[in-house]
Amino acid sequence: MKFIHRTFVFGLLIALSAKLNFACKDKKEVAPSKDWWETAQFYQIYPRSFKDSDGDGIGDLNGITEKLDYLKELGVTATWLSPIFKSPMADFGYDIEDFYEIQKEYGTMKDFENLIKKAKQLGIKIILDFVPNHSSNESEWFKKSVARDPEYEDFYVWEDGIDDPKNPGKKLPPSNWLAGFRGSAWQWNEQRKQFYLHQFAVQQPDLNYRNPKVVERMNHVIRFWLNKGIDGFRVDAVPCVFEIERFPNGTYLDEPKSGYTDDPEESDYLLHIYTQNQPETIDLVYEWRRVFDEHQRIFNTESKVLLIETYAPPDYTMKFYGNVTTQGAHLPFNFNLITQLNSQLTAEDVKKSIDSWLPEMPSKRTANWVIGNHDKRRASTRYGVEKIDHMNMLVMILPGVSVTYQGEELGMLDGIISWEETVDPAGCNSNSSIYEKFSRDPCRTPFQWDDTKNAGFTTKEKPWLPMAPKYEELNIKTEMAAKESHLKIYKSLIELRKKQTLKFGNYKYNAVDKNVFVVLRTYNNSQILLIENFGNSEEKIDLTKSFPNLDKLILKIRNLGSKKELGSTILANNIQLDKYEALVLTTETVL
């Protein structure tokens, strides 16, 4: 009996093993798949500057709806809109008065619903900008907090301050903390007789996330807009949401000097070790992801994506992705290509910036690549006009998600904004001699649709910001009509991203010398190679030294300055690169 039993068991194991092997074989042959956001092309719209539909010189929701066909033709997967909520516009929408209403100059809730409807028809996801760190000081929440309404009394960060030894009866701020827009981060409120914290403009009081009522209220805001049909949120200023807890006497630790600047009013004068990147912030992001996933589960929808603004050290940023038991943000934004590179960039600099993200990522997470936004000088201006195609190629060929700020596909340049024309509080809070260092107005100038007056953005004589230089050349109409243009190169890159090699392929990258950078994507026998010369001299490269499997390749895409013939064959062991030349090469058959 024992022999029979053992024989039976042994046979059963063999049968099970065969089934398992067959199942594994079947599984291996199944084509890979990814969620919609994992290979998406995100496109940021700054609504105030995208398209004015009613002639008031300010972009609006109907203008965006009108131009969604352009985004569809471009190949955009999802577009995220900078804040469109009711606001006094002290910081152009990042000071929210009512998280549930649309700003009147942008339109109505009906206009927003029409935007969502058309976007869904076109297959474009709509992502909204969520600003949880603060509200406007004109918000009803803040007014009730000032009046010590029991429900709202602790909605914000309030402190008594400390006695001024030189002036009895007067209070000083409880710490030396500085605001992002210059000066103390503490503002005295005469009605309440306390200071409130504002890490940005004085009109932007910080919400108190140590109060559970604030957490739940903001969760309600998230649910409200998810129910309106949006596909996710980009979350603003996440590192600032929590600050260290106060001492029992109502004071805080002072932040140390950074040594970066001698200007005691500038935010960078201090190292923000007590007001940014606190451990509680990680848990709050996990809570927001729980709300997203709960909504998806209840309503059986596609994934609602959570993107967060970080600007934090890599070891802290990577925690936002989640851990072995908890899901975090789908995408903590990767700003390395912005913060670590400038017009003097080299291939070695590019490699370092990628090295500080890709190898640091937790397993099975998705990378993302960003070269510009509404807070930073435009990519063409920062990197140099001759390198804008290089940078667009880079974010499209590297694995993961690409993020484009409106105008980068055209090579748009920074606007030239005088002191008198400056409206950004980051510039206005300085003075006429240094405002250009801080103002974000130059990267927020109106989008360039054609070569007519005001670039087709508005029919008003004077738009809210003046047009940027060269808009007669760098616009949709002109670049679409041209034989070659930044826009056509960009569209070719998005088309190439539909290939399985870029969606699912393995990757290698390297600086083969100081100026030449290479990215190789492989999938089965298919190869896509990006090779970029960031230097102003010619280069002769033998790529087989670094990538021995490379042989003959076909030129598919080239930067605007390249003279090489598209479709020509190039040998990997003998690549001649002109100065500032960038090429995308593939095998003859590319999957």
Interstrand relation of 552-558 and 232-235 (parallel, antiparallel or unpaired):
unpaired
Q: How far apart are CA 367 and CA 355, in angstroms?
A: 12
The dihedral through the CA atoms of 555, 558, 561, 565 has a sign that is positive
Which ranges in the chain are annotated with CATH 3.90.400.10? Answer: 134-206+244-274
Kindly state the DSSP code that residue 529 receives in the 8-state scheme: E
Kindly state the DSSP code that residue 55 receives in the 8-state scheme: S
Rounded to two decimals, the pTM is 0.92
Cβ atoms of 409 and 389 closer than 8 Å: no
Q: How far apart are CA 475 and CA 450, in angstroms?
A: 5
Which ranges in the chain are annotated with CATH 2.60.40.1180? Answer: 506-586
What pLDDT, on a 0 to 100 scale, did the predictor assign at position 266? 96
What pLDDT, on a 0 to 100 scale, did the predictor assign at position 546? 83
Interstrand relation of 305-308 and 232-235 (parallel, antiparallel or unpaired):
parallel
- For 37, the token pair is 């956001």
Q: How far apart are CA 391 and CA 408, in angstroms?
A: 10
Which ranges in the chain are annotated with CATH 3.20.20.80? Answer: 36-133+212-243+275-492
What pLDDT, on a 0 to 100 scale, did the predictor assign at position 5? 42
Beta carbons within 8 Å of 544's beta carbon, 6+ residues apart: 550, 551, 572, 573
**pLDDT in single tens digits along all 591 residues of the chain:** 333 344 343 344 334 443 333 333 333 335 578 999 999 999 999 999 999 999 999 999 999 999 999 999 999 999 999 999 999 999 999 999 999 999 999 999 999 999 999 999 999 999 999 999 999 999 999 999 999 999 999 999 999 999 998 888 899 999 999 999 999 999 999 999 999 999 999 999 999 999 999 999 999 999 999 999 999 999 999 999 999 999 888 789 999 999 999 999 999 999 999 999 999 999 999 999 999 999 999 999 999 999 999 889 889 999 999 998 999 999 999 999 999 998 899 999 999 999 999 999 999 999 999 999 999 999 999 999 999 999 999 999 999 999 999 999 999 999 999 999 999 999 999 899 999 998 999 999 999 999 999 999 999 999 999 999 999 999 999 999 999 999 999 999 999 999 999 999 999 999 999 999 999 999 988 999 999 999 999 999 999 888 888 888 999 999 999 999 999 999 989 999 999 999 999 987 878
Q: How far apart are CA 111 and CA 118, in angstroms?
A: 11
What pLDDT, on a 0 to 100 scale, did the predictor assign at position 549? 84
CATH code 2.60.40.1180 for 506-586:
yes
Distances (CA, A) of 335 to 331, 338, 354, 418: 12, 5, 10, 28
May I ask the CATH architecture of the domain 134-206+244-274?
Alpha-Beta Complex (3.90)
Q: Is 118 exposed, middle or buried (0-12, 13-18, 19+ CB in 10 A)?
A: middle
What pLDDT, on a 0 to 100 scale, did the predictor assign at position 31? 54
Right CATH for 36-133+212-243+275-492 from 3.30.365.10, 3.30.420.60, 3.20.20.80, 3.30.450.20: 3.20.20.80
What pLDDT, on a 0 to 100 scale, did the predictor assign at position 551? 87
What pLDDT, on a 0 to 100 scale, did the predictor assign at position 13? 39
Which of helix, strand or coil describes residue 163?
Answer: strand
What pLDDT, on a 0 to 100 scale, did the predictor assign at position 367? 96
Distances (CA, A) of 173 to 191, 196, 218, 292, 466: 16, 9, 28, 38, 39
**Active-site amino acid positions:** 236, 309
What pLDDT, on a 0 to 100 scale, did the predictor assign at position 590? 77
What pLDDT, on a 0 to 100 scale, did the predictor assign at position 28? 39
